[in-house]
Amino acid sequence: MQIRTDGGVLGTRFLILTFFDFLKRCSSNIVAQNLTRVSEFQLMSLSEDPDLQPTLFGLFLSMYLVTVLGNLLIILAVSSDSHLHTPMYFFLSNLSFVDIGFISTTVPKMLVNIQTQNRVISYVGCLTQMSLFGIFVCMDDMLLTVMAYDRFVAICHPLHYTVIMNPRLCGFLTLVSFLLSLLDSQLHNLMILQITSFKDVKISSFFCDPSQLLNLSCSDNFSDNIVKYFLAAIYGLFPILGIFFSYYKIIASILRIPSSGGKYKVFSTCGSHLAVVCLFYGTVVGVYLSSAVSHSPRKGAVASVMYTVVTPMLNPFIYSLRNRDIKNALRRLHSRIFHS
């Protein structure tokens, strides 16, 4: 009987020591901040090498300017050319606007951090960046799904295309995409605001990534996990399934065309969109797989550059190089500006 009692005491001591060790680890970095509020976070740099900082600054400044200029040209070309006043190019111009906002939420702050050698971001600034990032990345996701639906209607129901994809529906789909993105952003904000204590103030990313902030929470809240999985299903799984279904129907319709030339002509109308979809989802999946496999936070931060910086930069090139209508519109825009 005595042995059982000793075992119970030892087990109780072990649990108490484990609990206090957890509290100690969880609160060691926030003692100076009243254990409840964090006034600022520290972002991760892509490289600690001081000799590499000017190169990184020049590289990311160039990529940012190219992205903004390229997407602005797409918006100008679509808005100034009456031949491109169609649903497909309406969604494309919205995607270009979103890509400008997407890259503008992360890169300017990173450039300032590189220039000043200061990686600190305030609590409010971090929440603001996270909110804007959430809105724009979800808008990208939603607009790509809407564009897949547009291509599905154009190829599978060509006679009813103008009736189905009328301006009212196009505006409604864009508005719904924005509202769903805003909802996702605010739900993530709410989850972060409910965190009362953080393990650390160092974020393993060069921007305020919502997933990284949630990982810093001391408490493993069951309801927060449910919300995270629910949001992942709504904003990740459903759009991907929508795109897959659209292209399944598109491919089935293309295979019924007898001539190979006809098949190529029809498929070429959605080739640019398919390339952008593969680039966006491929880089996002690659980032999260690399962060799961690799235990180096810096490698994960470098990998996240692919979908936060490289993807918005490449989208205008994909559409302008693969799309004859966009190329012709850009030529007309160039001649109108420089020969008027």
| Nearest alpha carbon to residue 104 among 114, 116, 112, 93 | 112
Of 303 and 93, more confident: 93
Instruction: Give the whole-angstrom CA distance, residue 217 versus residue 228.
Output: 14
Q: Using an 8 Å Cβ cutoff, are 96 and 104 in contact?
A: no
Reported confidence tier of residue 280, pLDDT bands at 50, 70, 90? confident
Instruction: Give the residue with greater pLDDT, 42 vs 136.
Output: 136
- The pLDDT of residue 5 is above 70: no
Compute the distance between CA of residue 140 and CA of residue 269 in angstroms, rounded to an integer. 20
* 154 Cβ neighbours under 8 A, 6+ residues apart: 88, 161, 165, 269
Contact between 125 and 187 (Cβ < 8 Å):
no
pLDDT on residue 129: 92
- Token readout for 89 is 């190019």
Give tens-digit pLDDT for 104-151: 999 999 999 988 888 889 988 989 999 999 999 999 999 999 999 999
Task: Answer positive or negative: Cα dihedral of 178, 124, 226, 277.
Answer: positive
Q: How confident is residue 10, by pLDDT bands cut at 50, 70 and 90? A: very low
Q: What is the pLDDT of residue 299?
A: 72
Band of residue 48 on the pLDDT scale cut at 50, 70, 90: confident
> Once rounded to an integer, what is the mean pLDDT over residues 309-334?
82
pLDDT bucket at 35, cuts 50 / 70 / 90: very low
pLDDT for residue 49: 81
The residue extents of the domains of the chain are 48-195+208-339
pTM: 0.83
- Structure tokens belonging to residue 221: 């809240």
Return the CATH fold of 48-195+208-339: Rhopdopsin 7-helix transmembrane proteins (1.20.1070)
| pLDDT mean over 18-33 | 43
Contacts of 117 (CB under 8 A, 6+ apart): 53
How far apart, in whole angstroms, are the C-alpha atoms of residue 23 and residue 31?
11
DSSP letter at 35? Answer: T
pLDDT in tens, 190-232: 888 887 777 778 888 888 888 788 777 776 665 666 777 777 7
pLDDT of residue 224: 63
Indicate the average pLDDT of the chain: 81
